[in-house]
A and B are shown apart, each in its own frame.
Chain A
Amino acid sequence: MRGLEYAGCRLPCTRSQTKGCRVSELKRTPLYDLHVSLGAKMVPFAGYDMPVQYSLGVMKEHLHCRAAAGLFDVSHMGQVILRSEDPEVAKAALETLIPQDVLELVEGRQRYGFFTNDAGGIEDDLMFANRGDHLFVVVNAACKDADVARMRAALEPEVTVKLLENRALLALQGPKAEVVLAEHHPVVAEMRFMDVATVPIAGAECWVSRSGYTGEDGYEISVPAAAATDLAKALLAHEDVEAIGLGARDSLRLEAGLCLYGHDIDETTSPVEGGLTWGMQKVRRAGGDRAGGFPGADRILREMGEGVSRKRVGLSPEGRAPMREGTPLFASADADTQIGTVTSGGFGPTVGAPVAMGYVDAAHAENGTTLFGEVRGKRLPVSVAKLPFVAAGFKR
């Protein structure tokens, strides 16, 4: 059989990774030894040697996370602190880079956002939290150096930008996440979706947020690197918790309709095309008190008023064949003109069928529209589907 050599690393690679990252340069997270001891298959991802799966395998890991709880190492992501003498300065400054409402984000709350560029494209997506005297920002691994450089260039010297190299980041996701983490500190059960708090867990100062990227309820836990392995082991000791690799992380987020940066959104896609305007608060939109004032505002606000020519949509292949990233889409079985492209696609273990998302011309973006994806030279039917494929389990 051909293609086996790729089977270990056909995880969607991020742009900067495909530009060439030699194995000898791979970085390790503080949990590397634990991954190896758990029998993980390690692959290069965004410059890090990361677990793509453990002994359960992608399918069972995915299903376990939806049924109970899964523990993910996301320490490769960038954790950044923005600090200014007057915290309002840092908040106002961040608003110049992202189309979100930072100023009115109250202490103890977090938001999803995205860095835009002057052309209205997306440079990266991020989470930012108001932690009182500072903002805590989490960005994608592949983009973190560029993001830090962008923030330094725009925000310093009034705001200090510090990339934390001494903390790991774990995600505990799934319907049992609350019960499991509350055994370590009951306060986490009282947190709502997108709350953040400092919580001592397993003897370490953890920065906990009730969030994640699987569509499930759960937590993301920033922990000092030196305490990360002990915390991970303590969580894994619970019978409901399994270690989950990047393979299942990808299928979980795809079923949840969440974008993978570099694939479903990138520097050419606007937040309007990407269907992310829910993440732009009214105050930053046209007519709002602080409308605009972020890179690419002209295009983004114009598109919000006038509409866009292409849109990100969910795609449900009608047969069993997965439609992978790059699959061209057509309006009919014999049309010559391509009207879209799959940007993420694979098998959805919870759906029990292939799932995908991609961009299509606006004329073909309505739910239920039948399109055709070309797979190995054959045109196979695929319908435009509502996202997410699996309903979110957030505790709002």
Chain B
Amino acid sequence: MKFTEEHEWLRVEGDEVVVGITAHAAEQLGDVVFIELPDEGQTVSKDDEIVVIESVKAASDILAPLDGVITEVNEPLVEEPGKVNEDPEGDAWFFKMKIEDLSALDDMMDEAAYKKFIG
């Protein structure tokens, strides 16, 4: 698993990357009450705001971690946004995307580096 400074995790599955938010981010956000996901097939550029996530306390955006195409979104999250608090690094992934060059992940933080990053 790789991590971004925007508190996303990325997991490679075949030629796709699964993206979610970290347990740390979910805890900081508090109870998630609303999620808006991107469209399947949508072409995105790094840092595009592609997911809206609202908790009882705040509205936040999830940014596309890399250039690519959205291949699948986790539709059940829209009906049950609270899953993000229950299993942020497992069932509550947000979207899968196809990217040109998986080596782009090599520069991202591993778990140890992310833990250090969040202190």
Binding site for B on A (CB under 8 A): 1-4, 6-8, 10-11, 52-53, 57-60, 62, 247, 251, 320-322, 324, 346-347, 349, 354, 376
Nearest-Cβ distance from residue B75 to partner chain A, whole angstroms: 13
* Cβ of A45 to closest chain B Cβ, rounded Å: 13
The 9 tightest CB contacts between A and B, nearest first, are A3-B60, A59-B31, A10-B58, A347-B33, A58-B56, A1-B62, A7-B58, A2-B61, A7-B28
Residues of B within 8 A of A2 (CB): 6, 49, 60-63
Point out residues on B near A: beta carbons under 8 Å: 6-8, 21, 25, 28-31, 33-34, 36, 49, 51-63, 78, 81
CB distance from A252 to the nearest CB of B (A): 12
Q: Which residues of A contact B53 (CB under 8 A)?
A: 1
CB pair B6–A53 under 8 Å, yes or no, is no
A58 to B81, CA, bound (A): 15
Chain B residues near A376: list those with CB within 8 A. Answer: 52
Contacting residues, chain A, for B59 (C-beta < 8 A) = 3, 322, 324
A-B contact count (CB 8 A): 84
Q: Are A8 and B56 in contact (CB under 8 A)?
A: no
**Whose C-beta in chain B lies nearest to the C-beta of A376?**
B52
Residues in chain B near residue A59, CB distance under 8 A: 30-31, 33, 56
Q: Which residues of B contact A322 (CB under 8 A)?
A: 33-34, 54, 59
Report how far A288 CA is from B30 CA in the complex, Å: 50
What are 10 A-B pairs at a CB distance below 8 A? A1-B6, A1-B60, A7-B30, A8-B57, A10-B57, A57-B30, A57-B56, A321-B54, A322-B34, A376-B52
Q: Determine which residue in B6, B30, B61 has the highest number of CB atoms from chain A within 10 A of its CB, and name it.
A: B30
CB distance from A34 to the nearest CB of B (A): 21
Q: How far is the CB of A231 from chain B (nearest CB, A)?
A: 28
Please give, as numbers and ranges, the residues of chain B lying within 8 Å of A4 by CB-CB distance: 6-7, 25, 28-29, 60
Report the minimum CB–CB distance from A23 to chain B (whole Å): 18
Which residues on B sit within 8 Å (CB–CB) of A3? 58-61
Nearest opposing residue in chain B for A352, CB measure: B33
- In the complex formed, the residue of B with least CB distance to A1 is B62
Q: Does the CB pair A7–B29 fall under 8 Å?
A: yes
In addition to A60-B31, A321-B52, 18 A-B residue pairs with Cβ atoms within 8 Å of each other are A1-B8, A1-B61, A2-B49, A3-B58, A4-B25, A6-B58, A7-B28, A7-B29, A7-B30, A8-B28, A10-B58, A52-B57, A58-B56, A59-B56, A322-B54, A324-B59, A346-B56, A349-B31
* CB <8 Å contact, A321 and B34: yes
Chain A: CB-nearest residue to B4: A1
Closest to B28 in A: A7
In contact, B6 and A7 (Cβ under 8 angstroms)? no
The distance from the CB of A9 to the nearest CB of chain B, in whole angstroms, is 8
Interface pair B60/A347, CB less than 8 Å apart = no
With contact pairs A2-B61, A3-B61 given, residues A349 and B56 touching in the complex (Cβ less than 8 Å): yes
A265 to B5, CA, bound (A): 39
Residues of B close to A10: CB separation below 8 A: 57-58
Report the bound CA distance from A196 to B38 in whole Å: 55
Q: Shortest Cβ distance from A350 into chain B, in angstroms?
A: 12
Q: Shortest beta-carbon distance, A54 to chain B, in Å? A: 12
- In whole angstroms, what is the CA distance A57 to B52 when docked? 21
Does B56 lie within 8 Å of A347, measured CB to CB? yes
Residue of A whose beta carbon sits closest to that of B55: A7
Cα A99 to Cα B98 in complex, Å, equals 65
Closest to A10 in B: B58
Task: Give, as a whole number of angstroms, the nearest-CB distance from B96 to chain A.
Answer: 17
Please give, as numbers and ranges, the residues of chain A lying within 8 Å of B8 by CB-CB distance: 1
Most buried by B among A3, A322, A324, A347: A3
- Of the candidates B21, B31, B60, B62, the one whose C-beta lies within 8 Å of that of A57 is B31
Instruction: Give Cα A185 to B29, complex, Å.
Output: 40
Contacts of A57 in B (CB 8 A): 30-31, 56
Residues of B within 8 A of A58 (CB): 30-31, 56-57
Q: Are A347 and B54 in contact (CB under 8 A)?
A: yes
Determine the chain A residues whose CB is within 8 A of the CB of B36 once the complex forms. 321
**Of all chain B residues, which has the CB nearest A5?**
B28
Cα-based distance from A67 to B31 in the complex (angstroms): 18
B63 proximity list for chain A (CB < 8 A): 1-2
Q: Which residue of A6, A8, A347 contacts B34 across the interface (Cβ within 8 Å)? A: A347
Query: With a CB–CB cut-off of 8 A, which chain B residues contact A247?
Result: 30, 56-57
